[in-house]
Amino acid sequence: METRGEGAGTLSLTGGTRLEGRVEVSGAKNSVLKLMAAALLAPGTTTLTNVPDIVDVDIMAELLRRLGCGVDRDVVAGVVTIDVPERPHHRADYDLVRRMRASICVLGPLVSRCGEADVAMPGGDNIGSRGLDLHIEGLQRMGAEVVNEHGYLVATSEQLRGADVWLDFPSVGATETLVMAAVLADGRTTIDNAAREPEIVDICTMLIAMGAHIEGVGTSTLVIDGVSELKPVTHRTVPDRIVAGTWAVAAAITRGRIEVAGADPSHLSIALEKLRSAGAQVDETADGFVVSMDDRPKAVDIVTLPYPGFPTDLQPQFIALNAVADGAALVTENLFEARFRFVRELARLGADVRTDGHHALIRGRATLSGAPVEATDIRAGAGLVLAGLVAQGRTDVYGVGHIDRGYAGLVDDLARLGGQVVRMDDAHREGPPMK
């Protein structure tokens, strides 16, 4: 049985096995954490289903408990029940927020519901600067006073009021913060250049079920008419398109065949089309899709963009695919400037990757060679695991705790698909990877 621990552990992979079988995708990490925060908007018991068994859910549950909520989890059933008091506490402490950037999502609900919020400046993955300016400017336009005091964002407002907000960039986090703040504001809020990700649609769907008035869901313009109160609901989390996409690449890179169940292929249109261009066969099913590959993949160019463009969270996985592909590929990263840091680890496996600013040129090689590498963030870890699956010999991926934050039961799923993988805790690993 797989065990986990934040920031700890090592995956030892022996490459060369074709993955074949079926995996079930649960709810999206990038949605469920925000849904848990949205529960703060209504006193009473909110129930979330299709919740993934990942470390970040544990962290968010503890954060909500410190805000005065009762949180119960049924890991087997994938259910989280949140009992929200009439008046939650309003301080989100640093020791939790530093571990997960998504903790900032409690800012909007707290200032909207309580009139004040003290939220520590967040931490999270080391993939580049992701400022909170858009969150702050939007709340200020809605009448909140927001200051930075001793490492905390302190937002106060007796009553938020509707406003017209233009986002310079379609930020997912800022869109979520402002939507959750606006649903209880006085009057109409219009958010232009809003993010359109399926996770945004998911949170809006839940808020509407709670009694919010939101128009334009799934478009770049959201119109929210504030209401006086919301009610708790039961809501099913949208499938995790990034986990689904990772398994799709796993099938292609190992020249295997994987049925990905519980996924929505429409959320991965561009990524799946790129796999077809690489030579994979992709077939939609009643509840997901099947990816199969018989030959060496062909190199494919990638340009990351906000949804519905190619997702940045699948960029490392596709770089791993290109590292063993036939030909050369150019990958352009437009969202997070530090996303390419993981290619230094990929190079330890023999990959030929050259970076220049926000471009990476990958020249595919027939084989990679197993070596110790270290995951520095969730998706980098996924990319290194994929590379280890096809590298000759043994690859040890350190820092598995990062992967735990986004992938539930990864080792068990890999083993069921035929992968040769063992998880070790820090006490049994042979030492840190050489740099």
| Domains, the chain, with CATH or none | 10-25+239-428 (3.65.10.10), 29-236 (3.65.10.10)
The answer to whether 125 is a known catalytic residue is yes
E strands, 139-202, are 145-149, 152-156, 164-166, 188-192
Q: Is pLDDT larger for residue 43 or for residue 335?
A: 43
Tokens of 431: 């030492």
The residue behind tokens 């119109």 is: 223
Taking the CA of residue 73 as centre, how many other CA atoms within 13 Å lie in the half-sphere pointing to its CB?
Answer: 18
pLDDT tens track for 204-254: 999 999 999 999 999 999 999 999 999 999 999 999 999 999 999 999 999
pLDDT tens, position by position, 307-348: 999 999 999 999 999 999 999 999 999 987 778 889 999 999
Residue 109 has what DSSP assignment?
H
What pLDDT is stored for residue 102 in this prediction?
Answer: 74
CA geometry: angle 419, 254, 250, nearest 5 deg? 80
Q: What angle do CA 229, 235, 237 make, to 5 degrees?
A: 130
Token digits for 14? 């022996």
Closest listed residue to residue 105, CA positions, set 195, 15, 179: 179
**Looking at residue 75, what is its pLDDT?**
95
Both tokens of 9, joined, read 């552990």
pTM: 0.93
At 258 the pLDDT is 98
Q: Which of 56, 58, 118, 125 is catalytic?
A: 125
Q: What is the pLDDT, as a whole number, of residue 129? A: 41
pLDDT band at 126 (very low <50, low <70, confident <90, very high): very low
Amino acid 398: pLDDT: 95
Q: Which of 4-18, 140-154, 357-371 has the lowest mean pLDDT?
A: 4-18
